[in-house]
């Protein structure tokens, strides 16, 4: 599944320019040797027509080879003609209040962008907003751990 749109934050985290990633599958972010067992879970999610959304933690690396853990939120979006797109929102997992706050801001920006794209079309988000809420809760817990 190739990338068809990326935001500025994706480019900042991965150190790749838009023109270098559009049209490519995200596997280019995986380190040599791949992402490990999480790949099977990703494939199961993508292959399950009833799955609406999911979260994954994936080992990735930047363009310069710097490793980072990627908290990936994926949600399926379907059109009336049954075409399906995948919203992928990723967050470089780290520590610190600023990092957790940036996760929340980035997810909010992604959801605003998604709303703008879907508002004039007859597309629907599969699954529930509960997963989105759970993702935000996870990020808040991560932030709270950093405060203690």
- Give pLDDT tens digits for 33-80: 888 888 899 999 999 988 888 888 888 999 999 988 888 888 888 777
Q: What value does the mean pLDDT of the chain take?
A: 76
User: Alpha-carbon torsion 73, 41, 30, 77, what sign?
Assistant: negative
Number of compact structural domains in the chain: 1
Q: What secondary structure letter does DSSP report for 36?
A: T
Decide if 1 is inside a domain. Answer: no
Decide if 95 is inside a domain. Answer: yes
Give the pLDDT confidence of 91-110 residue by residue, as tens digits.
887 644 555 556 566 666 66
Q: DSSP string spanning 47-65? A: H-TT--EEEEEEEEE-TT-
Decide if 125 is inside a domain. Answer: yes
Decide if 36 is inside a domain. Answer: yes
More confident residue, 117 or 7: 7
Q: Residue 13 in contact with residue 67, Cβ under 8 Å?
A: no
Which domain does 101 fall in, by range?
8-147
Decide if 76 is inside a domain. Answer: yes
Decide if 106 is inside a domain. Answer: yes
Residue 16 pLDDT exceeds 90: yes
Decide if 40 is inside a domain. Answer: yes
Decide if 53 is inside a domain. Answer: yes
Per-residue confidence band for 139, with pLDDT thresholds at 50, 70 and 90: low
Which residues, including other chains, have CB under 8 Å from residue 29's CB and lie 6 or more apart?
A: 14, 58, 60, 61, 70
- Domain CATH number, residue 105: 3.30.450.20
pTM above 0.75, yes or no: no
Cα three-residue angle 1-114-29, rounded to 5 degrees = 35
pLDDT for residue 148? 42
């Amino acid at each position: 599944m190739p990338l068809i749109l990326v935001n500025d934050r994706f480019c900042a985290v991965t150190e790749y320019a838009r023109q270098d990633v559009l049209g490519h599958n995200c596997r280019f972010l995986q380190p040599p040797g791949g992402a490990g067992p999480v790949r099977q879970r990703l494939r199961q999610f993508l292959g399950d027509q009833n799955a609406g959304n999911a979260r994954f933690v994936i080992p990735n690396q930047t363009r310069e080879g710097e490793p980072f853990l990627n908290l990936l939120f994926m949600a399926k979006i379907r059109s009336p003609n049954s075409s399906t797109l995948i919203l992928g929102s990723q967050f470089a997992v780290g520590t610190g209040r600023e990092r957790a706050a940036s996760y929340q801001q980035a997810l909010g920006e992604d959801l605003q962008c998604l709303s703008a794209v879907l508002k004039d079309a007859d597309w629907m988000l599969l699954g529930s907003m509960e997963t989105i809420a759970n993702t935000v809760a996870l990020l808040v817990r991560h932030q709270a751990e950093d405060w203690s």
